[in-house]
Amino acid sequence: MATTDSPPESGYQPSDRLKERLAAWQASVEWHPKDGEPEPADRIPSVAEARDALEAGIGQELAEDLQLSLTTLAEHVPWTAENLRLLMAKRGGYPPRERHRKNEGDPRVYQPSERLRDLLAAYNLSLDTERKRLDELEECIADELRANTDLTNPELAKHLPWEQEQVRLIARARNVPRRRKRGSEHKLIEDKGKPKSVVVPYDWYVQQPGADPSIAKR
């Protein structure tokens, strides 16, 4: 299989705006400070940090209340009892549970500690921040595609932590106008050294006059 000739790449370089939003999103997922970089006073913990702190807080709740079951605790955190069991197993386990005895009176109604409530709030804030920054990043990606008409998804993907298919999905969701595909994306099939047929990208094909409706609807 051979490819048809294609023009050179556009020479695209990401804008400062894209770099800033990419860095902000990555920091909200997992923060990796550079050597000697001070921590900003208003920095919101990353999702990884907040989750780790919440897991540690859950472990502390289980250690301090030996009658607290995973099923009961799961009613107050964003994981099922089975998820909690696996999480605690990865962190070294937790003390065996004690059964409530009738002579101890009515079972105590569990209420999360203030410490755990604060950790839950911090975790939810980190998730909300990550989603907001991801939304801003995706909108910036769409703007880059609109502003650079020669820019292809594979070229842009080289500057992002995703494959070109994810860039295509972002562009589709953000209503970025489709563009004619480059010749390099049209696959030429040869038979005994002679051109036989050409396989074209789906996005390009469905825009052509006379495209088969049954194919375009897929």
pLDDT tens figures, 10-23: 688 999 999 999 99
pLDDT above 60: residue 8:
no
User: Does residue 178 lie in a domain region?
Assistant: no
Task: Specify the pLDDT at position 1.
Answer: 42
Residues 123, 83 within the same domain: yes
Residues 135, 79 within the same domain: yes
Q: Which two tokens stand for residue 91?
A: 């962190």
Residues 154, 50 within the same domain: yes
Mean pLDDT of 98-107: 76
User: Does residue 106 lie in a domain region?
Assistant: no
Q: Which of 39-43, 50-54, 59-63, 127-131 has the lowest mean pLDDT?
A: 39-43
Query: In the chain, what percentage of residues exceed pLDDT 70?
Result: 86
State how far the Cα of 208 lies from the Cα of 218, in Å rounded to an integer. Answer: 15
What is the C-alpha radius of gyration for the chain, rounded to an integer number of angstroms? Answer: 27
Domain hosting residue 28, numbered range: 16-32+42-99+111-173
Q: In this predicted model, which residue has the larger pLDDT, 50 or 194?
A: 50
Task: Specify the pLDDT at position 162.
Answer: 94
Residues 115, 208 within the same domain: no
User: Does residue 136 lie in a domain region?
Assistant: yes
pLDDT above 50: residue 5:
no
State how far the Cα of 28 lies from the Cα of 22, in Å rounded to an integer. Answer: 10
pLDDT above 90: residue 127:
yes
Residues 161, 198 within the same domain: no
pLDDT above 80: residue 203:
no
Structurally, the chain folds into a number of domains equal to 2
Task: Specify the pLDDT at position 194.
Answer: 77
Matching residue, tokens 């964003």: 78
Torsion angles phi and psi, residue 196, rounded to 5:
-115, -50
Mean pLDDT of 136-161: 93
Q: What share of the chain is helix, strand, coil (3-state, %, to 5)?
A: 50, 5, 45
Mean pLDDT of 134-157: 92
The three-class DSSP label of residue 112 is coil
Residues 193, 93 within the same domain: no
Residues 62, 125 within the same domain: yes
Q: In this predicted model, which residue has the larger pLDDT, 92 or 41?
A: 92
pLDDT above 70: residue 120:
yes
Task: Specify the pLDDT at position 181.
Answer: 53
Residues 131, 195 within the same domain: no
State how far the Cα of 50 lies from the Cα of 56, in Å rounded to an integer. Answer: 10
Q: Decide if 162 contacts 168 (C-beta within 8 A).
A: no
pLDDT above 90: residue 124:
yes
Q: Which two tokens stand for residue 172?
A: 């589709």
